[in-house]
Amino acid sequence: MKTLIDAEVSPGDQLKTFSKQEITQLLDMSQGGLYKVFRRCSLAVLNCDNSIDDIEALEEMHKNFDISLYSTERGVKLSLQNAPASAFVDDEIIKGICEHLFVVLRDIIYAKNEIIESNKFDLRDSEGITNAIFHLLRNANAFRKGHKPSMVVCWGGHSIPDIEYIYTKKVGYELGLRGLDICTGCGPGAMKGPMKGATIGHAKQRMSEGRYLGVTEPAIIAAESPNAIVNELVILPDIEKRLEAFMRLGHAIIVFPGGVGTMEEILFVLGLLMHQENKDQPYSLILTGPESSRVYFEAIDAFILETLGKKAQSFYQVIIDEPARVACEVKKGIDQVTTYRRSTGEAFYYNWRLMIPLDFQVPFQPTHKTIKADLRLTKNSPSGKLACDLRKMFSAIVAGNVKLDTIKLIEKEGPFEIQGDPAILASIDKLLHIFIDQGRMKLPGKTYVPCYRIVDQGGDS
């Protein structure tokens, strides 16, 4: 059986043609050129549903993979060399994977030309960033004008035990029975399970237009390749715009068990919900898993209490091993969102009214220098600021675990050093040890080696 395939693929009618300039940009291999991102995202899409989520292992396995783009009279074509054979059936590319390949083209070139380099948006300004995200999502056809709120964002780990994966499918099934749509980070595990469950729920309700929206970003897509159920895919330029897109598209959030990436997401949404200007916004946030994950959620609940205080705990529910109750609570919360949006005249498909401070929006590039200079993990910080800095800290660990450029930086310069108040550092250390002990920081087949080192103000571990 073939393991690699050479092929030419075309997008059919789903994508406009590209100019010669855009093709040149996509194939630009120079420093700062788009080819590296284009190739990495394309390989991730072609690697759909394979078990490898180690970026370095994936790159090594497919080091001879190549992709190029050229124009024809009827549009554009992609030429693939040494592509994973799992993306093909009888030497024909699977249609869903083909669609995702051309999404890579669409979103990378649009973000580069129309957002980052166009000067149409002030990306140093909060309103400018929110406008840019709106245009990115609109270009991706992510809006359904006239549809009542129904989008449930589901977060959780991409590598979770079978018992937790089965639970995510049960919750997805209950959501599907209630006519709700699913938005996730598009990968496997807790991102795939709710979508898979919802497809059955939708089918039982004879719904043929269920939405399974995947939202990702270039630096993380290789570790969380789009799963086979995603029927709409959007690639945002960075993690901060991805997180904001979730918040503005979604009408409720469910959090399943995960690792540092999931904790990053929880802190992002809590930081926003605690903001005074968002006090009237209805937004359901439910943390849930099977009985076996009870200790996990107790640890997260304790961490939030110890760092952000009791008020932060009031913004979410923890529901253990009750899939139908989770779906009922989500549906009730979305009904409140519908009433609120109608009363304020707000759009159902994009939450313009949600206040997101600039510090949550500006991309944080984790390096040894920025972690030391920018993070203030102290009890003296306002709770919103502390939530933001904790989010950045967990984001740095995510990057050190799965993002290739950051992995190489740590290999060169050593682990990131995390400093702050002793009480906060102790809470961080305790939570991370629980994640490690439960296998939530470990890539398959590898013993986890921390990319971070927690030190007190004197520099001692």
Is 123 within the bounds of a domain?
Answer: no
Q: Is the pLDDT of residue 121 over 80?
A: yes
CATH (domain of 267): 3.40.50.450
Q: Are residues 317 and 391 in the same domain?
A: no
Q: Give the pLDDT mean for 244-248.
A: 98
What does the pLDDT look like over 159-198, one tens digit per residue? 899 999 999 999 999 999 999 999 999 999 999 999 999 9
Bridge partners, 66 (sequence order): 81
Is 117 within the bounds of a domain?
Answer: no
Is 141 within the bounds of a domain?
Answer: no
Q: Are residues 297 and 166 in the same domain?
A: yes
Instruction: Give yes or no for a contact between 373 and 318, defined as CB atoms under 8 angstroms apart.
Output: no
Q: What is the total count of domains within the chain?
A: 3
What does the pLDDT look like over 54-82, one tens digit per residue? 667 777 888 899 998 887 766 688 999 99
Is 121 within the bounds of a domain?
Answer: no
Instruction: Give yes or no for a contact between 110 and 139, defined as CB atoms under 8 angstroms apart.
Output: yes
Pairing mode, if any, of strands 452-454 and 75-84?
Answer: unpaired
Is 137 within the bounds of a domain?
Answer: no
Q: What are phi and psi of 321, to 5 degrees?
A: 60, 35
Instruction: Give yes or no for a contact between 352 and 326, defined as CB atoms under 8 angstroms apart.
Output: no
Q: Are residues 34 and 79 in the same domain?
A: yes
Q: Give the pLDDT mean for 292-317.
A: 97
Q: Are residues 304 and 187 in the same domain?
A: yes
Q: Provide the residue range defining the domain that includes 25.
A: 4-109
What does the pLDDT look like over 352-402, one tens digit per residue? 999 999 999 999 999 999 999 989 899 888 999 999 999 999 999 999 988
Q: Are residues 226 and 164 in the same domain?
A: yes
Instruction: Give yes or no for a contact between 222 and 37, defined as CB atoms under 8 angstroms apart.
Output: no
Q: What are phi and psi of 55, to 5 degrees?
A: -60, -40
DSSP annotation of 116 reads: I
Pairing mode, if any, of strands 284-289 and 317-320?
Answer: parallel
Is 78 within the bounds of a domain?
Answer: yes
DSSP letters of 77-95?
EEEEEEEEGGGEETTEE-H
Q: Identify which of 121, 126, 122 has the alpha carbon closest to the alpha carbon of residue 358.
A: 126
Q: Are residues 248 and 376 in the same domain?
A: no
What does the pLDDT look like over 422-460, one tens digit per residue? 999 999 999 999 999 998 986 656 788 899 999 875 545
**3-state SS assignment for residue 413:** helix
